[in-house]
């Protein structure tokens, strides 16, 4: 048949339901929604190109879900209203809804006689029920076609059900239809693929999907159907599908041609130019886009792009917009190929706009992206952005300046370089850049601007090799000079100052004063901005508690640090290992070697136990203590070798810790000369009491009782004596009394040592003292019940549980106890494999184990299974 108004034949393909592509994924959740929608007068399916609008409707039309006959009409861009209605009439005739001579045909290409629509509506009112699907409604020029559909739908009665497929909302009174419950909408976010559907799609393309890889692809594509399909095809051709899935760049390359052709090229020239320029950013504001493009109509164009689903999405409740990440990446790549010099210029313009708006963090990010390092550094220092950088997890991060050349001039660039080194725990690097910053201004004060002086003083405090109370007071003075609103913008300043002062005191061998400052720092960490810093402060406080022998407090503060990280979802890349080290120290002092090993294993996975010199030394000392307790003295020495002559020697606290650990391992294997040498290398003048106690132990073991006694008396006079030190001194005196034949005196001293150790469950000093303790305790004759707890085997069920398992962790553990693999557990509980692994890590940490079998055994001991 031909259309009289054009003389062209009708194309059967425009009236046919499209065939489905190979590997089509049936989506029952959407098919059911479409069936539900066609019970009403109008169903609207809208979304960007490639989200699966047509595929969904065609799948439904070909399925048993379509209880009514379906008439399908596909619009092309050059279809005039007259042509469109000619196809509608022909489709209805072919379906049997209209007789051949019921209606005429349109006689004008650009318009349709109103009487034709009246006759059509009247005929449909008497026709059998049917569904009319109009695909590509956005291609119809003007409003004539949507207006005609509105008229026919509203006058044809309940027999006609409309399904409209479009990239944008048609010019219909949708607000009225929604209020009257006459429209059922399936939007772009509804069409996004779920994880289960993505797995089916990948399998249909011949790719064996792995859980984490599916999650990565979904993250890259945000569930966009065409993007997933193109990525699946590319993965199937890739030599390393897993590497493809992990690479965002590979995903972008797979979909780039589609996006540039179907989305960018379909826009008018002004919109194309705007997209290419604005696409260098992740988010855009109309005023920001105006600054990038010089266009006064940027806001209108953004609205049009969002309305037609051109992968530009308005952010709810704001004037901002975001691009689909793959679309933004394709735009950037296209701009670089056409105008490579334009991208950095656009970033610099954006940096100035952000700075004018008072959004300094974004200004720094954009200046860095544009290579304007001087401006980025100036903004960072001027607005005290080094504070969130040093507190961790803030913006900008140290990675922002990872590409900054070393020859950027000026003190502020040097200060930022110093802060970045400090954020990475590179203390020598921080000090070196601080010296360059001071040289650039001719002196150490750096007070040409208040922010410069405060930044420099804070960095000097954080990188101080030992106790630095004067520097902490200097920071406090500079803080007091800041305007109150500036201090309010940076609540991390005061806790960061206290944290730096406490760490410096720990390096200076002053654990008790450090504890006092850390307690203040924890209280000062208020609000979300200081969560990560509070986590770190609690971990360091737990370490200081453990060093002071306050094991119960160390356990509480360590557990609180870990719980805070879990509660706020702090990623492992930002977590501190200090709390894990503290819990390992507690377990060692209580002779729970399995728990100590478990805590150490978990702590060593975190970056700061490798990068932060203080934590690295603490980790090495604890490993050495663990190996010593196991009798592996050579292994203990390997964990300590190299540190005594390294940077740790410059700080009294770490130097003394290393020396005592080295001496303890040497004493355990009977090498008194090595023990004395390790202690003598540190020197007694700046030593902590534990160093003096260790020297007394060496002298006593070498049968020099007079020297040992003098050292004991010296140590007992110290105000910094810890619980562990007091117990060891009492044991030294008891042993010496026993050797001198004063057995009753020895027993009295042993009872004092036991009573001192019992509140904290302190066992290690008694084990290290030797077998004479057990023989002496046998004659206590009930004078003290203290030895009962010490002498009894340390039952596994008595090990501390850091935190109770969550209900989901218990479910995972129950499946693990059934010998199920991680994949099987994920399938059984309908979780992702990554989520199961996260729960397993939490179980290991809370049960103080490092393996599945140990976790199951430990849970059974605690009657959790």
Per-residue pLDDT for 686 more than 60?
Answer: no
Q: What is the pLDDT of residue 464?
A: 85
- Structure confidence at residue 205 (pLDDT): 75
| Residue 586 binned pLDDT confidence (cut-offs 50, 70, 90) | very high
Q: Lowest-confidence range among 237-241, 655-659, 739-743?
A: 237-241
CA separation for the pair 258, 324 (Å, rounded)? 14
Q: Is the pLDDT of residue 374 over 90?
A: yes
Q: Which domains does the chain have, with CATH numbers?
A: 12-191 (3.40.50.300), 807-861 (1.10.10.10)
pLDDT tens track for 152-201 = 999 998 889 999 999 999 999 999 999 999 999 999 999 999 999 988 88
More confident residue, 687 or 63: 63
Cβ-defined contacts of 752-755 (< 8 Å, 24+): 753/727, 754/784, 754/786, 754/787, 754/790, 755/784, 755/786
Query: pLDDT digits over 83-110, tens only?
Result: 899 899 889 988 888 876 667 666 565 6
Question: Hey, which residues does 163 pair with through a beta bridge?
Answer: 43, 133
CB-based contacts of 285-289 (< 8 A; 24+ apart in sequence): 285/319, 285/320, 285/321, 286/319, 287/353, 288/350, 288/353, 288/354
Ranked by mean pLDDT, the top range of 367-376, 668-677, 688-697 is 367-376
411 in Cβ contact with 452 (< 8 Å): yes
From the list 496, 464, 460, the residue with the least C-alpha distance to 387 is: 496
Structure confidence at residue 100 (pLDDT): 64
Instruction: Tell me the pairing of strands 160-166 and 183-186.
Output: unpaired
Give pLDDT tens digits for 203-243: 887 777 677 888 888 888 899 888 888 887 777 777 777 77
Q: Which of 85, 91, 139, 136 is nearest to 114 (CA)?
A: 85
Q: DSSP letters along 740-785, please?
A: TT-HHHHHHHHHHHHHHHGGGT--HHHHHH-THHHHHHTT-TTS-S
Tell me the per-residue pLDDT of 691-722, one tens digit each, with 9 for 90 and over: 888 888 888 888 888 998 998 888 888 887 88
Contacts 24+ apart (CB under 8 A), 814-817: 814/865, 816/840, 816/852, 816/855, 816/856, 817/856, 817/859, 817/865
The predicted pLDDT at position 831 comes to 82
pLDDT attached to residue 534:
92
Which pLDDT value is given to residue 289?
A: 95
Edge-first strand listing for the sheet containing 70-74: 70-74, 130-135, 160-166, 42-46, 183-186
573 vs 351, which has greater pLDDT?
351
Residues 6+ apart with CB under 8 A from 470: none
Q: Is residue 313 helix, strand or coil?
A: strand
pLDDT tens readout for residues 247-292: 767 677 878 888 888 899 989 999 999 999 999 998 999 999 999 9
Digit-coded pLDDT (tens) for 19-63 = 887 778 889 999 999 999 999 999 999 999 999 999 999 999 988
What pLDDT is stored for residue 783 in this prediction? Answer: 55
Q: Whose CA is closest to 475, among 495, 497, 491?
A: 497
Select the highest-mean-pLDDT range: 9-13, 601-605, 820-824. 601-605
**333-346 average pLDDT score:** 92
Nearest one of 597, 622, 627 to 609, comparing CA atoms: 622
Task: Give the residue from 58, 259, 50 showing the smallest Cα distance to 167.
Answer: 50
pLDDT over 80 (residue 846):
no
Q: Is the pLDDT of residue 591 over 60?
A: yes
CB 46 within 8 A of CB 185: yes
- pLDDT reading at 70 higher than 80: yes
pLDDT for 5 equals 56
From residue 132, alpha-carbon distances to 97, 172, 725 in Å are 11, 17, 87
Statement: residue 548 has pLDDT above 50: yes
Distance CA 389, CA 380 (A): 9
pLDDT, tens digit, 9 for 90 and up, residues 750-809: 989 988 998 898 989 988 887 788 778 776 765 555 566 665 434 333 444 445 787 788
Residue that the structure tokens 């010496």 belong to: 736
- Residue 326's CB is within 10 A of a number of other CB atoms, namely 25
> Which segment of 94-103, 382-391, 640-649, 818-827 scores lowest on mean pLDDT?
640-649
422-463 pLDDT tens trace: 988 888 899 999 999 988 876 554 556 788 889 999 999 998
When comparing pLDDT for 648 and 335, which is higher? Answer: 335
Mean of the per-residue pLDDT values for the chain? 85
Q: What's the mean pLDDT in 308-329?
A: 92
Residue 377 has pLDDT above 90, yes or no: yes
* CA gap 692, 536 in Å, rounded: 30
Query: 497-506, 515-524, 721-730, 826-835: which range is least confident on average?
Result: 826-835
Other Cβ atoms within 10 Å of 377 Cβ, number: 27
Q: What is the pLDDT of residue 505?
A: 86
Length, in residues, of the chain? 865
Say which residue, 7 or 705, is predicted with more confidence: 705
Q: What is the pLDDT of residue 469?
A: 84
**How high is the pLDDT of residue 788?**
65
Average pLDDT, integer, range 838-865:
76
The pLDDT of residue 687: 47
């Amino acid at each position: 048949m031909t259309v009289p108004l054009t003389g062209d034949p009708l194309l059967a393909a425009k009236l046919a339901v499209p065939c489905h592509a190979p590997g089509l994924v049936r989506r029952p959740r959407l098919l059911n929604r479409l069936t539900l929608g066609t019970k009403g007068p109008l169903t609207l399916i809208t979304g960007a190109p490639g989200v699966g609008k047509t595929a969904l409707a065609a799948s439904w039309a070909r399925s048993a879900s379509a209880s009514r006959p379906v008439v399908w009409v596909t619009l092309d861009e050059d279809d005039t209203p007259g042509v469109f209605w000619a196809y509608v009439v022909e489709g209805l005739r072919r379906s049997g809804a209209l007789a051949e001579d019921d209606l005429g045909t349109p006689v004008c290409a650009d318009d349709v006689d109103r009487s034709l629509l009246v006759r059509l509506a009247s005929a449909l009112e008497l026709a059998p029920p049917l569904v009319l699907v109009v695909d590509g409604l956005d291609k119809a020029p003007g409003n004539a076609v949507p207006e005609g559909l509105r008229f026919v739908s509203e006058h044809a009665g309940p027999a006609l059900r409309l399904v409209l497929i479009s990239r944008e909302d048609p010019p219909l009174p949708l607000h009225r239809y929604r209020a009257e419950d006459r429209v059922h909408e399936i939007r772009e976010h509804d069409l996004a693929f779920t994880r289960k559907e993505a797995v089916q799609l990948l399998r249909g393309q011949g790719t064996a999907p792995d859980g984490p890889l599916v999650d990565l692809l979904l993250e890259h594509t945000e569930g966009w159907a065409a993007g997933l399909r193109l990525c699946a095809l590319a993965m199937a051709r890739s030599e390393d599908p897993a590497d493809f899935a992990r690479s965002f760049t590979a995903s972008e390359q797979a979909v780039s041609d589609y996006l540039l052709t179907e989305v960018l090229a379909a826009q008018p020239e002004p919109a194309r130019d705007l997209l290419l320029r604005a696409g260098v950013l992740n988010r855009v504001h109309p005023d920001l886009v105006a600054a990038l493009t010089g266009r006064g109509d940027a806001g209108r164009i953004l609205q049009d792009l969002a309305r037609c689903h051109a992968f530009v999405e308005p952010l709810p409740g704001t004037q901002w917009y975001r691009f689909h990440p793959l679309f933004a990446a394709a735009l950037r790549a296209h701009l670089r190929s056409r105008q490579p010099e334009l991208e950095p210029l656009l970033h610099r313009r954006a940096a100035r706009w952000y700075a004018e708006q008072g959004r300094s963090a974004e200004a720094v990010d954009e200046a860095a992206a544009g290579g304007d390092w001087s401006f980025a550094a100036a903004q960072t220092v001027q607005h005290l952005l080094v504070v969130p950088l040093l507190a961790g997890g803030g913006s900008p991060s140290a990675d922002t300046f990872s590409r900054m050349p070393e020859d950027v001039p000026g003190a502020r660039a040097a200060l930022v370089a110093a802060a970045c080194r400090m954020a990475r725990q590179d203390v020598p690097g921080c000090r070196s850049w601080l010296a360059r910053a001071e040289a650039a201004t001719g002196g150490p004060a750096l007070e040409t601007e208040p922010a410069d002086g405060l930044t420099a003083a804070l960095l000097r405090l954080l990188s101080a090799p030992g106790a630095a109370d004067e520097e902490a007071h200097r920071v406090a003075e500079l803080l007091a000079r800041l305007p109150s609103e500036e201090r309010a913008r940076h609540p991390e300043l005061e806790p960061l100052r206290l944290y730096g002062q406490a760490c410096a005191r720990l390096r200076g061998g002053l654990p008790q004063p450090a504890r006092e400052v850390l307690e203040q720092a924890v209280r000062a960490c208020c609000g979300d901005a200081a969560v990560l810093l509070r986590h770190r402060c609690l971990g360091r406080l737990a370490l200081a508690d453990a060093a002071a022998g306050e094991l119960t407090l160390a356990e509480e503060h360590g557990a609180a640090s870990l719980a805070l990280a879990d509660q706020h979802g702090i990623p492992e890349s930002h977590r501190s290992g200090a709390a894990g080290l503290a819990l390992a120290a507690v377990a060692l002092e209580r002779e729970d070697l399995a728990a100590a090993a478990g805590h150490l294993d978990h702590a060593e996975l975190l970056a700061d136990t490798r990068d932060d010199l203080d934590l690295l030394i603490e980790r090495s000392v604890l490993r050495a203590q663990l190996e010593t307790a196991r009798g592996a003295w050579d292994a203990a020495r390997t964990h300590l070798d190299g540190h005594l002559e390294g940077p740790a020697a410059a700080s009294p606290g770490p130097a003394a810790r290393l020396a005592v650990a080295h001496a303890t391992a040497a004493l355990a294997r009977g090498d008194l000369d090595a023990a004395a040498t390790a202690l003598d290398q540190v020197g007694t003048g700046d030593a902590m009491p534990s160093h003096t106690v260790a020297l007394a132990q060496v002298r006593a073991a070498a049968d020099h009782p007079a020297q040992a006694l003098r050292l004991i008396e010296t140590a007992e006079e110290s105000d910094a004596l810890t619980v562990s030190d007091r117990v060891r001194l009492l044991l030294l005196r008891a042993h010496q009394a026993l050797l001198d034949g004063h057995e009753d005196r020895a027993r009295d001293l042993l009872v004092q040592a036991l009573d001192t150790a019992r509140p904290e469950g302190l066992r290690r000093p008694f084990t290290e003292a030797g077998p004479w303790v057990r023989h002496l305790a046998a004659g206590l004759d009930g004078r003290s019940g203290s030895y009962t707890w010490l002498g009894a085997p340390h039952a596994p069920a008595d090990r501390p549980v850091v935190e109770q398992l969550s209900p989901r962790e218990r479910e995972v553990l129950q499946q693990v106890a059934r010998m199920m693999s991680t994949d099987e557990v994920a399938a059984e509980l309908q979780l992702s494999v990554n989520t199961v692994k996260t729960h397993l890590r939490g179980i290991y940490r809370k049960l103080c184990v490092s393996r599945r079998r140990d976790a199951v055994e430990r849970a059974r001991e605690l009657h959790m299974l």
